[in-house]
Structure 1
Amino acid sequence: MVSQNRSHTDPLAEPEAVVSELLNFLEEQTRSPWEPETDLYRDGGLSSLFAMQLVVHLEKSYDIAIRGADLRLDNFRTVRLMSALVCRLQQAQADGRDG
């Protein structure tokens, strides 16, 4: 599990570690198993309200800010897409950019 309060000196998250952590989070929250490529909203029937829970979880778990264009539902459709978003935002933050 990823630390809730990552410092800026922590290494960037690895994509597969993010996938694993997110799959665990989703299973805990929904009591259902998930696959990394499952469309969570089409196939799983999750709501856009749950997408906001995911935003909060990702921001707290990975010390990132998800704003503006990154808040599109398409970034949260699959666990792999969320992992890519986390890694991209962490890299931008490490490089001194905003997303």
Structure 2
Amino acid sequence: MTVEPITTVEDELLAHLTSRTKSFVTKDEDLFASGLVSSMFAMELVVHLESAYGVAVTGTDLQLDNFRSVETMAALVHRLREQQADA
């Protein structure tokens, strides 16, 4: 399995969030503090990450801090994909 570069994941997530929120989003923006993402929308992001990147977000990975910014989501995807590649 090839693990996508983290910047590619960030770019896709930025495009996805911009499309869904109709707002400009930066990769380090706190999405919850800005009001762009609610806990309900965070669950939609879990589904998006799982379907777009073929990862399973479970257990301790289901923390709001993992979805706070595009950077943290991309890091989560990258870590989960590396774990899958190592398995």
Q: TM-score range by the shorter chain?
A: over 0.9
CA distance in 2, matches of 1:88, 1:26: 21
The alpha-carbon deviation at position 44 of structure 1 amounts to 3.2
- Map of 2:55 onto structure 1: 64
Tell me the secondary structure at the aligned position of residue 83 of structure 2: helix
- Identical-residue share of aligned pairs (%): 47
Task: Identify the structure with the greater helix proportion.
Answer: 2
Contact 2:21 2:36 in 1 (8 A): no
1:1-57 deviations in whole A, cap 9, x for unaligned? xxxxxxxx4x21110000000000001101111000000000234210000000000
Q: Aligned AA for 2:84? A: Q
> TM (normalized to structure 1)?
0.85
- 1:27/1:45 CA distance change after superposition, 3 Å: closer
Task: List alignment gaps of at least 5 residues for structure 2.
Answer: none
RMSD: 0.8
Which region of structure 1 is more displaced relative to structure 2, 85-94 or 39-48? 39-48
Which structure has the larger Rg? 1
Task: Pick the aligned partner of 2:44 from 45, 53, 67.
Answer: 53
CA distance in 2, matches of 1:30, 1:78: 14
The count of residues paired between Structure 1 and Structure 2 equals 87
Task: List alignment gaps of at least 5 residues for structure 1.
Answer: 1-8
Higher relative contact order (CA 8 A, sep 6+): 2
- Map of 1:31 onto structure 2: 22
> TM (normalized to structure 2)?
0.96
